[in-house]
Amino acid sequence: MGIRMIKVITYGTFDLFHEGHYRLLQRAKALGDYLIVGVTTENYDQARGKLNVVDSLMTRIENVKKSGFADEIIIEESIGQKISDIKKYKIDIFTVGSDWIGHFDYIEEYCKVVYLERTKDVSSTMLRNQNFKIQRIGIIGTGRIAGRFLMEAKRVSGVNVQSVYNPHIDSAKKFAQEYDIDYCLTEEALYQNTDIVYVASPHETHYRYVKNALLYGKHVLCEKPFTLKREEAEELFAIAKEKGRILFEGIKTAYCPGFNKLVDIACSGLIGNIRYIDACFTKLEDKNSRELTDRKYGGSFLELGSYCLLPIIKLFGCEYDEVRFESIYDAGGLDLFTKASFRFKKGLATATCGLGVKSEGRLLLSGTKGYIIVEAPWWKTTYFEVHFEDASRVEKYSERFLGDGLRYEISTLLNQVNGSSKGEFKLTRSETTAIAGIMEKFLAGEKRDENMGA
Ligand code: CTP
């Protein structure tokens, strides 16, 4: 009887394949007779918070293959897969670099675990930072979202928030102190020292700031709602194109892995043709909050409408036949609750938002073969269910959503600034422009002044 060969397994992303990877694979192979290498998928990396991987899965596999050490290459696509691989492939030795010491001790129950000395002074992160210079971000606006953005940006390698601008200098100073960044006295000063501008100012100022930043040659990420007029959105995208700059709207839901999985499944035919979309987001606000005191640009639809319009526009397209708005107003004429009802060629949709009326925030996609339901907070999609006529048949899907979720939008932005078009589809120019057009229609129909004191 022949001697059984020793099987070794190792895993990694192997992005921008480098010396450290080569040496790791070389020594892994030397531990036995047969080496299996698990290469992570993009989705898995995203879900575990490893953002900004540059090479595609195919390129990373190709590079592992070229090293000549792998006898077999498999794909690692989920947490917990390692144990089943070890059993499935009858593995004798599991190995990874010493940066993981202790982390995989639990595997000792199934096979031998070897931590190999990590090669010094090289890593994919280092190479990504060398190949692509750190992008300096400047923030306009100092509201709550700006603070959240800053904390999330720390989780994305390759960007650094450097400065903040607010025409109210005291607010800028306070914000800069709190987050240990610089503040600028003028808008120009901010543009001079940054590569990317994040516009998080009051809604009605977005257009002006985005335009100025683009004309200054900066890439721009603008908070939702992007602009309040369709024409303004079109003009801004035209300037961005002419200047060769990246410009997109920060609706965080559009960039998070769970929502993208939901869109994929909705489009896969699993629930047949989608005929009805119902998206609802409510968030009770203090009556003294900006959202309920800014008589001109506050209110529930301008505040939350973008989230609800996103799945509708994504799945039904940018062209609709009809839209009708119905609102409940406060004494000052602001919409405490708004329901927008659409008729598309493909079906019907409702977008419901409330700052003063609480409802069950959910997203429902009804199709000819079944429906998909996502409970609140569906705008940070982590879990959804697919139901069918046969009530006992329920398919469940889940995906991680890390932190506040803004990291996904920041990393998509960074990828695009660094020249990859990966993620461009997540929120397209036409979608943002269509949403701006809906905001415009809402405001036009509102006749806010007439509602005052209603
Ligand atoms: N590795 C190594 N020496 C290095 C870098 C990586 O031995 N200098 C090993 C890791 O310990 C792991 C494998 O190579 O076992 C794949 O690592 P991966 O995470 O893909 O590479 P990193 O360069 O560590 O990537 P990142 O900087 O993105 O974390």
Beta bridge partners of 323: 342
Fold exhibited by the domain 135-251: Rossmann fold (3.40.50)
Cα 257 to Cα 286: distance, rounded to the nearest angstrom: 31
Domain boundaries, the chain: 7-116, 135-251, 254-445
Q: From the CA of 148, how far away is ligand 1's center (Å)?
A: 30
The greatest distance separating any two alpha carbons of the chain, rounded to the nearest whole angstrom, comes to 93
Q: From the CA of 40, how far away is ligand 1's center (Å)?
A: 12
In the β-sheet with 72-76, what is the strand arrangement from edge to edge? 72-76, 34-40, 7-12, 93-97, 112-116
Closest alpha carbon to 158 in 407, 421, 427: 407
Report the CATH number of the 7-116 domain: 3.40.50.620
Atom of ligand 1 nearest to the CA of 10: 15
Fold: same for 7-116 and 135-251: yes
Query: Under DSSP, is residue 143 helix (H, G, I), strand (E, B) or coil?
Result: coil
Residue 3: count of CB within 10 angstroms of its CB = 6
406-417 and 144-153 helices, crossing angle to 10°: 60
**Tokens 């047969």 label which residue?**
34
Atom of ligand 1 nearest to the CA of 50: 28
Cα 335 to Cα 329: distance, rounded to the nearest angstrom: 4
- The set of residues, in sequence order, having a beta carbon less than 8 Å from that of 69 and lying 6+ positions away, is 25, 26, 28, 29, 35, 37
219: buried, middle or exposed (CB in 10 Å: 19+, 13-18, 0-12)? buried
Q: From the CA of 67, how far away is ligand 1's center (Å)?
A: 15
CATH 3.30.360.10 is right for the domain spanning 254-445: yes
For 354-386, write each residue's pLDDT tens digit. 999 999 999 999 999 999 999 999 999 999 999
Q: Give 365's Cβ-side CA count (13 Å radius).
A: 30
Q: From the CA of 426, how far away is ligand 1's center (Å)?
A: 29
Residue 244 backbone dihedrals phi, psi, to 5 degrees: 65, 35
Atom of ligand 1 nearest to the CA of 14: 20
Q: What is the DSSP letter of 396?
A: E
Residues having CB closer than 6 A to ligand 1 are: 12-15, 20-21, 24, 96-97, 99-100, 118-119, 122-125
Atom of ligand 1 nearest to the CA of 23: 7
Q: From the CA of 52, how far away is ligand 1's center (Å)?
A: 15
Q: Return the pLDDT at 452.
A: 47
Pairing of strands 93-97, 7-12: parallel
For the CA atoms of 190, 192, 195, 198, the dihedral, rounded to the nearest 10 degrees, stands at: 20
Q: Pocket of ligand 1, candidates 21, 93, 98: which has the most ligand atoms within 8 Å of its Cβ, to mutate?
A: 21
Q: Pocket of ligand 1, candidates 124, 131, 156, 157: which has the most ligand atoms within 8 Å of its Cβ, to mutate?
A: 124
Cα 128 to Cα 64: distance, rounded to the nearest angstrom: 18
The closest residue, in CA terms, to atom 13 on ligand 1 is 12
For the chain, residues with pLDDT lower than 50 are: 452-454
In the β-sheet with 159-165, what is the strand arrangement from edge to edge? 182-184, 159-165, 135-140, 196-199, 219-223, 247-250
Cα 64 to Cα 437: distance, rounded to the nearest angstrom: 48
For 290-324, write each residue's pLDDT tens digit. 888 888 889 999 999 999 999 999 999 999 999 99
Tokens of 366: 């009804």
* Residue 55 Cα distances to 42, 67, 184, angstroms: 9, 16, 37
Residue 35 backbone dihedrals phi, psi, to 5 degrees: -110, 125
Pairing of strands 383-388, 394-398: antiparallel
Q: From the CA of 127, how far away is ligand 1's center (Å)?
A: 12
Q: What is the DSSP letter of 186?
A: S
Q: Return the pLDDT at 224.
A: 97
Handedness of CA 426, 431, 436, 438 (dihedral sign): negative
Q: What is the DSSP string of 307-333?
A: HHHHHHHHHH-S--SEEEEEEEE-TTS
